[in-house]
Structure 1
């Protein structure tokens, strides 16, 4: 072979090698792309499955809570994922401490929670409130809305500002003392459900008269006032098909229960005008077991008892003035001996110990009552609430 032929053959072989693109022994980019595609397909399948399961569970919960009613219209129980857009940014939701008076469990004021140290946490979505109760284990608050033309609402507000609607369009709403149960009026029915996290579970219902309203929990039963304009109560144990008959239809208000189960309530005086304080036996259909008279109690029913059942703070009349009165239930006899404690109560009260109680008066100021001082003749004075604007109504947070 001539030299020029050999050179031509070498050039042709080299040109063929350059023209043919050979795959790399290792292709990291291709491997990454293929791996990403596999992950995307796997995540898509998992997301669809979770979506189906969540839809089934939420649908089942809605059916369970709203089932059993023959009423028309949308269900008032709302269950679902909380609105994450309602979670405030920490830098925007927590304000600097302000000179708020000492309220151990805090105050609700103008859509914000003000704790005992004066820090403010915005609670977007929570409307005008009537009551607020702290959930067990510091999991947040249950907030009962003020009555509106659309009914009442119930919110759970977590300590980071996340707000979830539990009820909307309800009638009267009452909470158990430990905030683990809620009772409410829905059309012609009375319902009770447990509170777990941000949901209501295990609801049961009973048909009640049009004028009947839940008042409070008594153990595992619900005390029902049959007519707000007339005396008389009944007891309903959830799961029972009827209200417990009350032969004596004269109970005006009930303030709480003693450790032995007896209720402390208000009844009309028999021989003179006015009202008396009575111990009622729920085992005998709330029949009065003892009655103490002599001090005019207010018919508004506002008041509450200490956790140990020793003290009762209740509204009453001293001369021509409406005042809050302190009653020693351990010394309750035939004569009601009540000591003036401070301005009249305007809403919920919060006992923080066996000897301290707080409430908001009619002017929207905070009142802190020390039992020892009141018994020594020193009445409590209202303390202005920082940031209170005309028309605002602070709500004292109860519970612990």
Structure 2
């Protein structure tokens, strides 16, 4: 039976039940039908509104998952000096483009489980996750990747330069330090600190020494391992000579790297007030200060790096900004605000440009001459970029009616 037939039957039934023969001022059947139609329209609109709300919730969930999976997450700059390569014709196009734009010839970048190299190569690293630090090995022998600390310790992978799957070199290490050229590794294992050379993904000539509980390797100065002590201070250990680490220098708070002359750039506590000062430290004399400059307000988190020529230091300050420090005169170092704080390692290029990732996951490029001219580096891409390029659906959008996404 059609809707029209039902409507006519309802009108006839109600008309027969009316007691008076006079026409009624109102039409009962029409009123009932009008109410029914209004109710139907309200239910339809309510259903559409609920559908719109559900769409917003669902697409918001997709946006959140998209930001944290796949190419999402905080990237890691690869330390070391990559060769100046350019994408080959076979590597041009989508394979040489990441969510941070075209791969630069300045650095390698690790995004999730994928390595985007300076030459435009894109490699999926099966079985690698949670990488905290990445270091290129000299002479294009590959990369060393160190995981973040977990309950099971840290893992060190070797990624061959000529292709091939990543290989586990160390597992369950308490701490791992890699030399600037990727040729040496030191790690904490139980009660010992061990150091070894790296050749073709193999640890060779390992040497071990007993160390106090909590003492961990944090870097290298030539063949000398820098060991952070649990109660503060730092000692050095020459792995080539073996034996025991030297005496602890209690004033050293953190180290940033080594200059070409072999001296270490670090923070020391000086004077009775233990003021933090930038210093050049001599590893041959148990990190004794050679030159000291104070009043810089640098943070003690250890994040920072020295340029290849030893002229510049990029490090975090105590005022929620990064500082570019001119080391031309170490006794009178000059600082310049240099943009967002560092969230990880700093990769300096041979051309004198520093690149790092900030807390928002954006890639920051610091060029000293631009900073000296008053420019403040900003992240190339940050959370706002991820949000703007996520697919958003909105029921009132004119493009939504066509079934297309907006925000691209």
Q: TM-score range by the shorter chain?
A: 0.5 to 0.7
Deviation at 1:116, TM superposition (A): 3.8
Cα distance in structure 2, aligned partners of 1:332 and 1:352: 22
Residue of structure 2 equivalent to 1:158: 160
Q: What per-residue deviation string (whole Å, max 9, x for no partner) do you get for residues 153-211 of structure 1?
A: 01111242411111111111011111111100001010111111122111111110011
Residue of structure 1 equivalent to 2:340: 343
Indicate conservation of the 8 Å contact 1:152/1:169, yes or no. Answer: yes
Gaps of 5+ in 1: 1-89, 391-400
Moved more, 338-347 or 103-112: 103-112
Counting only pairs closer than 5 Å after superposition, residues 196-345 of structure 1 correspond to structure 2 as 196-227=199-230, 230-238=231-239, 239-246=241-248, 248-270=249-271, 274-317=275-318, 321-333=319-331, 335-345=332-342
TM-score normalized with structure 2 length: 0.67
Cα distance in structure 2, aligned partners of 1:116 and 1:180: 20
Q: 1:136 aligns with which of 121, 135, 138?
A: 138
Cα distance in structure 2, aligned partners of 1:354 and 1:115: 17
Q: What per-residue deviation string (whole Å, max 9, x for no partner) do you get for residues 350-371 of structure 1?
A: 1012520101111111101111
Cα distance in structure 1, aligned partners of 2:358 and 2:309: 24
SS in 1 for 2:271: coil
Counting only pairs closer than 5 Å after superposition, residues 1-400 of structure 1 correspond to structure 2 as 95=95, 97-101=97-101, 103=104, 104-116=106-118, 120-159=122-161, 160-227=163-230, 230-238=231-239, 239-246=241-248, 248-270=249-271, 274-317=275-318, 321-333=319-331, 335-384=332-381
Deviation at 1:137, TM superposition (A): 2.3
SS in 1 for 2:317: strand
TM-score normalized with structure 1 length: 0.68
Indicate conservation of the 8 Å contact 1:100/1:118, yes or no. Answer: no
Q: What per-residue deviation string (whole Å, max 9, x for no partner) do you get for residues 91-127 of structure 1?
A: 9xx9463352455222111111123466532110112
SS in 1 for 2:284: helix
Indicate conservation of the 8 Å contact 1:255/1:305, yes or no. Answer: yes
Indicate conservation of the 8 Å contact 1:355/1:372, yes or no. Answer: no
Cα distance in structure 2, aligned partners of 1:241 and 1:149: 30
Indicate conservation of the 8 Å contact 2:232/2:253, yes or no. Answer: yes
Gaps of 5+ in 2: 1-89, 388-408
Cα distance in structure 2, aligned partners of 1:164 and 1:343: 34
Deviation at 1:286, TM superposition (A): 1.2
Q: Give the aligned length.
A: 292
Cα distance in structure 2, aligned partners of 1:177 and 1:305: 11
Structure 1 residue ranges, 4+ long, deviating more than 6 angstroms after superposition = 385-390
Change (3 A) 1:386 1:353: farther
Indicate conservation of the 8 Å contact 2:264/2:282, yes or no. Answer: yes
Change (3 A) 1:174 1:270: same
Change (3 A) 1:389 1:221: farther
Change (3 A) 1:356 1:157: same
Change (3 A) 1:196 1:385: farther
SS in 1 for 2:328: helix
Q: What per-residue deviation string (whole Å, max 9, x for no partner) do you get for residues 45-92 of structure 1?
A: xxxxxxxxxxxxxxxxxxxxxxxxxxxxxxxxxxxxxxxxxxxxx99x
Provide the aligned C-alpha RMSD in A: 2.5
Indicate conservation of the 8 Å contact 1:100/1:386, yes or no. Answer: no
Cα distance in structure 1, aligned partners of 2:333 and 2:297: 9
Residue of structure 2 equivalent to 1:6: none
Cα distance in structure 2, aligned partners of 1:126 and 1:385: 24
Indicate conservation of the 8 Å contact 1:100/1:116, yes or no. Answer: no
Q: Which has the higher contact order (CA 8 A, sep 6+)?
A: 1
Cα distance in structure 2, aligned partners of 1:170 and 1:262: 28
Indicate conservation of the 8 Å contact 2:179/2:185, yes or no. Answer: yes
Indicate conservation of the 8 Å contact 1:191/1:204, yes or no. Answer: yes
Cα distance in structure 2, aligned partners of 1:231 and 1:215: 13
